[in-house]
Amino acid sequence: MKKKLAFICMITAIFLFATGFRSDEQKVYDNAGLLTEQEAARLQGQCVETAQIKGIDIIIVTENGLRGKSPMDYADDFYDEHAFGYEQEHGTGILLLVDMGNRDWWISTSGEAIRYFPVKRTDKMGENIAAHLSKAEYMEAFETFIAETGNYMGKDPKQDGLAVKLLIFLGIGLVSGAIVTGILYHRQKTPMTVNSRTYMKGRQPNVLQQYDRYIRTTTVSRHIERSSGSSGGSGVHTSSGGHSHGGSGGKF
């Protein structure tokens, strides 16, 4: 029994050393007092469980004012000061900041999370979270954040909306096919009013001959200027601590 326990402790130590992730580290900082102790403990467990499955550190922070900092700076600095990260300090992780003083939310990403959570995704997550925050549904908002983090982590952002696009194209194809089929069916039902005698007067053909003479085609080429450096925006920036972060924020 002692040998088995020692083996388990050794495996746990190796895991912690290899990943840098500590399941006993605090992940929920409810400084604004929005949660009960039981709710905070439940969220703590969800953050740790999702982190171990998806390989991303998940942190929730609530405040009543940010002491003069912007939501982005506060969230990034909080992450850096606590050296969060799944595989190492300042590594892969995502932090949700909720400021009740100014009704702001901000999602800060680090490490591999920057790639998996571009602005388009953090904006979408923020919209869903803010919908609960605006109705004082704080537990639901934080559970939504954890669930969507687990859903997006590891999935290529380029795949977002792919299923919807395929359904749209399929629908367009079906509608187009139905229209063409209807036209052909209608033509088959229409009685023919033209026969071999229609364009004949006696034995002489009475068909008007018409010729199209090709002259030339003129093609005009024009160079279109494109603005340099333009992009959809990745949200990637450097914090005051010198670490790279991504993310976005908004109001609720």
Give 199-209 pLDDT, tens digit per residue.
555 555 554 45
- Give the sign of the dihedral formed by CA 46, CA 50, CA 55, CA 60: negative
Model confidence band, residue 23 (pLDDT cutoffs 50, 70, 90): confident
> pTM of the full predicted structure?
0.67
Q: Which class for 140: exposed (0-12), middle (13-18), buried (19 or more C-beta within 10 A)?
A: middle
- With a CB cutoff of 8 Å and minimum separation 6, the contacts of 159 are none
Q: Residue type for 91, please? A: G
Alpha-carbon distances of 175 from 19, 39, 164, 165, 188, rounded to whole Å? 53, 50, 17, 15, 20
Write out the two tokens for 171. Answer: 């629908």
Model confidence band, residue 187 (pLDDT cutoffs 50, 70, 90): low
Model confidence band, residue 242 (pLDDT cutoffs 50, 70, 90): very high
**Calpha distance 33→231 (Å, rounded):** 40
Please report the pLDDT score of residue 222 as a whole number.
39
- CATH number given to 25-159+234-251: 3.10.310.50
Q: What is the CA radius of gyration of the chain?
A: 31
**Calpha distance 126→121 (Å, rounded):** 8
**Calpha distance 74→67 (Å, rounded):** 9
**Calpha distance 252→236 (Å, rounded):** 23
Model confidence band, residue 7 (pLDDT cutoffs 50, 70, 90): very low
Give 128-178 pLDDT, tens digit per residue.
999 999 999 999 999 999 999 999 999 999 986 544 344 333 444 454 545
**Calpha distance 252→182 (Å, rounded):** 51
For the chain, what's the residue count?
Answer: 252
Q: Is 126 left (phi over 0), alpha (psi -120 to 50) or beta?
A: alpha
Q: Across the chain, what does the average pLDDT equal?
A: 78
Write out the two tokens for 196. Answer: 């071999």
**Calpha distance 142→134 (Å, rounded):** 13
Q: Give start and end residues of each alpha helix (H) in 20-88.
A: 37-54, 71-81
Write out the two tokens for 209. Answer: 């001959």
Please report the pLDDT score of residue 194 as a whole number.
54
Give the SS3 label for residue 174. Answer: helix
Give 81-127 pLDDT, tens digit per residue.
999 999 999 999 999 999 999 999 999 999 999 999 999 999 999 99
- Residues paired with residue 105 on neighbouring β-strands, in sequence order: 98, 250
